Structure 1
């Protein structure tokens, strides 16, 4: 892989009844294990296909927590470096909740799921500052 390339990661923010769906990352995860985050993962490039940002958000929410979503809207992008030094371009999306009971479907990746209000996210000690920033932006979008 080119040393200047990024891995593209997509976070899917789901809001249901004014509560945000967050996951507790699995303790075996290479990056940010045990931390609270929005569900998401890498854009995949299966043979003879090209996965879009929207398709990645839909797939990751289904695979990780069993939630079905409809419309997917771009929120923001940022960059970060994983614990092993991989450079990532992170794209945050707001996903329309359609149905499904959120539960860990990939226990190695997701230890638990939580529905938290915006205020709870802002006050929660285990939530990283970047997740608070993402929630701030989503709240701004939702209030318009």
Structure 2
């Protein structure tokens, strides 16, 4: 999963078809043969949101409690582009959310290492 942060906000996508009860999620998908988790995060961010990103840190991995899928979380920074639903059959909407807004989109909360990364990365301002 690509943990894409820019200007104090986290990029989330609304899946066209919910997976395991999840509607909003981080951009991501399967790692293809011969690809690393970092490469997959970069590719999926581009395919799903139209953003060119660079992987900057591995944040951890787990079996997602809602989907049962193995997820690897990769921190990414934006290199170019504007976020949009680049793959309409997969992504219905994109949103840049503040740390305080995350719970409105992801009621179960974020994976603790992702949450910790965001808290370290962001300086919470009046809307943060």
What is the TM-score when the length of structure 1 is the normalising length? Answer: 0.74
Contact in 2 for aligned 1:66/1:105 (Cα 8 Å): yes
2:92 aligned with 1:104, yes or no?
no
Contact in 1 for aligned 2:56/2:75 (Cα 8 Å): yes
- Could you give the per-residue CA deviations for residues 87-120 of structure 1, whole angstroms, max 9, x where no partner exists? 4211111001112110001111110000000111
Distance 1:91 1:117 in 2: 22
Distance 2:98 2:111 in 1: 12
2:70 aligned with 1:89, yes or no?
yes
User: How many residues in Structure 1 have an aligned counterpart in Structure 2?
Assistant: 122
2:3 aligned with 1:19, yes or no?
no
- Aligned to 1:131, the other structure's residue is in SS state coil
Residue 96 (structure 2) aligns with = 115
Alignment of 1:1-144 (within 5 A): 11-27=1-17, 29=18, 31-32=19-20, 35-45=23-33, 50-80=34-64, 87-122=68-103, 124=104, 126-131=105-110, 133=112, 135-142=114-121
- Could you give the per-residue CA deviations for residues 29-62 of structure 1, whole angstroms, max 9, x where no partner exists? 5x246611100000011xxxx1111110110000
Distance 2:65 2:111 in 1: 18
Which stretches in structure 1 are left out of the alignment for 5+ residues?
Answer: 1-10
Which stretches in structure 2 are left out of the alignment for 5+ residues?
Answer: 123-128
CA RMSD in angstroms comes to 2.2
Whichever of the two has the greater Rg, that structure is 1
